[in-house]
Every structure is written in C-alpha cells, then in structure tokens.
Amino acid sequence: MKVTVERAQLLKSLGHVHRVVERRNTIPILGNVLLRAENAQLSLKATDLDLEVTETLAAETGAGGGSTTVPAHMFYDIVRKLPDGAQIVLEGDGDRSVLAIRAGRSRFTLQTLPESDFPDLAAGDMTHSFTLTAADLKRLIDRTQFAISTEETRYYLNGIYLHAAGTAKAPTLRAVATDGHRLAQVDLPLPQGATGMPGVIVPRKTVGEVLRLI
C-alpha cells in the first residue's frame, strides 16, 4: 500500500472521523482508523460499535491499492503537527505490520492491526431515502437537542426521535426530544421520499457529530 495525499485534506477528514474513537478502549481495534486506498481515493473509517463514520478524499494510490488500520488519535496528532501544504506519503508493509508516514524531512512509523479485525456495521436495506438541506437539519437539531436526556438508564430518551407526522393534507417530518421533564418538538414539511418512513431515534453522539459537520 502506498498513498500520497495533501495534508490539509487528510487533516480535515481525520478531524471528522477520529472524534468517534474513544481514547480508552478495551478492544484494541476500536482505537484504530481503517485506511483503504483504491481508484485514486483514500477512505477513512472509524467506529465505536454504535456510530460509524466514513470519509473519502482524492489521493494518489499505488497499483493495487491496499488497506490497513492505525491508531486514530496518534495518527491525527502527527498529521496535525505537519506543516501546511505538505504532501504526505503513507506506505504500508503488511509483513512488518507497520505504516510509514513521510512528509518532507519528517519520518514516522506506526504499528498497525489487520483490516480483517476491523468491525463492519452492516446497515442493511434502507426502506426510505430523502434529502434535507443543511439549514433545515441544523434547525431540527438546534431546537431539540437541549432536551435530550443524559440519563443512560433511559437509553430510549438519549436521542432525537424523527418520524413522519401531520395530516394527509399537511404531512410533516417531526423531531422530538425529551428528558422526562421538558419536551422539544419541531416540524418541517415532509421531504419527498419520507412518506411512511419508520420512526427512528438518532443517538446523542450521532447528533453531535452531524451538527459539527454542518
């Protein structure tokens, strides 16, 4: 595996995915980010078994591509401290289980774990798909997230409940959050494709990550 990528692009994508990784993990592979190079693209994936984030960016990839996993927070700290405009070369050696990082005169080597150990959260078949503008999604979150419960024993209140509501003449997409003492509710016109969608609870951690992205 050999990949060349621009530092600013890699840092931006790593900044999104590394936040999902808990700093303390009893399962070593969950502390790593999965790197996969193919078709002139580098994809980064991280998960805590509840939330999975994948980012893809343009890169120069060697013949055949390749994949590996490296410690997420250590990798992020290295990239963050490299100079602006640097071209970063990532070279993986599967036989030695290491990833070499080169940028200018800087050299780093990180221990890796095999891709086969990385968990895959299969999403399954989604029955509904619809589009919301970033402004509408931000409005839903901003006006409801304050009411999300932080009491872990009532896990079903630890998120925002999204579901189709309203009447046949005025259908809506409704977001609701409550901690048992207060309740926040916001309605938007039902987007095309959301008719008949099953209600879903978007967990608090996912809400926070989505809000940062938009």
- Predicted confidence (pLDDT) per residue in 103-133, tens digit: 989 999 999 999 999 998 766 678 889 999 9
What's the pLDDT at 94? 67
Q: What is the domain partition of the chain in residue ranges?
A: 2-117, 134-213
3-class DSSP assignment, residue 58: strand
Q: Where are the alpha helices (DSSP H) in the chain?
A: 7-17, 72-81, 134-142, 204-213
Q: How far is Cα of residue 55 from the mean position of the Cα atoms in its chain? A: 7
Fold identical between 2-117 and 134-213?
Answer: yes
- The arrangement of secondary structure in 134-213, i.e. its CATH architecture, is Roll (3.10)
| Global pTM value | 0.81
> Into which CATH architecture does domain 2-117 fall?
Roll (3.10)
DSSP, res 67: E
Question: How far is it between the farthest Cα atoms of the chain?
Answer: 65
Is the model's pLDDT at 50 over the cut of 70? yes
Tens digits of residue pLDDT in 147-166:
999 998 988 999 999 999 98
The pLDDT > 90 percentage for the chain reads 73
> Smallest Cα–Cα separation from 130: which of 198, 50, 57, 214?
198
Between CA 88 and CA 30 the distance in angstroms is 24
- The tens digit of pLDDT for each residue in 176-205 reads 999 999 999 999 999 999 999 999 999 998
What band does 61 get if pLDDT is binned at 50, 70 and 90? confident
Give the position of tokens 């009447």.
167
Backbone angles phi, psi at 133, to 5 degrees: -70, 155
Tell me how far the alpha carbon of residue 162 is from its chain's centroid.
Answer: 20
DSSP-assigned states of every residue in 28-51 = GGGGEEEEEEETTEEEEEEE-SS-
